Amino acid sequence: MTSHTAGTTDAAPTTAHRGAASPARRVAAQTAFETRMILRNGEQLLVTIFLPLFLLVALDRVHAIELDTGGASRIDFVTPGVLAVAVMSTAFTSQAIATAFDRRNGVLRLMATTPLGRGGLLAGKFLGVLAVEVVQAVVLVAAALLLGWHPHAAGIPLAVLAGLLGTAAFTSLAMLVAGTLRAEGVLAVANLLLVVLIAAGGVLVPPSHLAPGWGHVAALLPSGALGDAMRGALLDGSVPLGAVAVLLGWTVVLGWAARRWFRWQ
């Protein structure tokens, strides 16, 4: 076996390479690449930035929409739920669609043959989701502050933690859907599920405010748990442990299922 270090043996090709870039550089490159792809895509921007922004402004300004805020101001009550929607739109809807089309177009297979590998590809996708969420947070927090939002300061680190847990659960769901269904099917499911969860998943309206029987179910959904965790952190400065347990449970189950059934081609 000849060495592949440049110029060490006569038999080595004259174009012998020095191998792969460092793992950190590869993942950083993929993260930047994924982030650019999402932020440049019009439909993705619509779902990840404009939809949550629209919900924030509409729920705060349109008083015809009745909200039981439990004594809090409308913007204080609405903003945590909208941040939860933002996490869902990026970690689930946007990522499921992007990954499904990458899978259909052979991008996952091609990138798996480069030094990036499958692990690096998944790491880049997850970090790309987090990068887009940072952009979302900047836009939505700025808008909410302009609308008079006063978050519970002590709860901000808890809200970040809740956001990470929600991202883990919903990215797992995205991978499960993207790795098992046809791309067109994922496009429909990812958008439809987002709308259903926003309407009835306990994310904007707390599960406890929903119809009695359904409320218990919604609290056990990742959307309801994420909404409750965000509201707990930013309204009261504490996260209900039940919501954390639900998010962790969904991450384990969905992550296992995605590993089990995800098909690369």
Provide the binding-site residues for other proteins, judged by CB under 8 A.
Answer: 1-2, 4, 6, 11-22, 25-26, 29-30, 33, 37, 40-41, 101-102, 105-107, 109-117, 264-265
Min CB(211)–other proteins separation in Å? 41
Judged by CB, which is closer to other proteins: 14, or 213? 14
**Do 118 and 99 contact (CB within 8 A), yes or no?**
no
The nearer residue to other proteins, 129 or 169, going by C-beta atoms, is 129
Our CB check for other proteins shows the closer of 72 and 135 to be 135
Least CB distance from residue 50 to other proteins, whole Å?
Answer: 18
Three-state secondary-structure class, residue 1: coil
Nearest distance from C-beta of residue 227 to other proteins, angstroms? 31
Q: Return all residues near 208 (Cβ < 8 A) that are at least 6 apart.
A: 215, 219
Residue 125 Cβ vs other proteins, minimum distance, rounded to whole Å: 12
Nearer to other proteins, 214 or 264 (CB): 264
CB of 110 to other proteins, least distance (A): 3
Q: What are the structure tokens assigned to 175, written together?
A: 């991978």
Burial class (CB in 10 A: 0-12, 13-18, 19+), 213: exposed
Distance in Å, CB of 88 to other proteins, minimum:
22
Distance (Å) of CA 208 to CA 11, 73, 214: 72, 18, 9
Q: Which residue, 18 or 63, is less far from other proteins as judged by CB?
A: 18
Query: Helices in 114-220 by DSSP H: which ranges?
Result: 117-146, 156-178, 183-200, 212-220
CB of 1 to other proteins, least distance (A): 5
- Residues 181, 28, 128, 252: is their CA dihedral positive or negative? positive
Compute the distance between CA of residue 183 and CA of residue 188 in angstroms, rounded to an integer. 9
17/150 with CB nearer other proteins? 17
Q: Which two tokens stand for residue 234?
A: 């930013």
Enumerate long-range contacts of 106-113, CB under 8 Å, 24 or more apart: 106/265, 108/264, 108/265, 109/264, 109/265, 111/30, 112/264
Q: Which is nearer to other proteins, 31 or 89 (CB)?
A: 31
CA distance 199 to 204: 8
End-to-end, the C-alpha distance of the chain in Å comes to 33
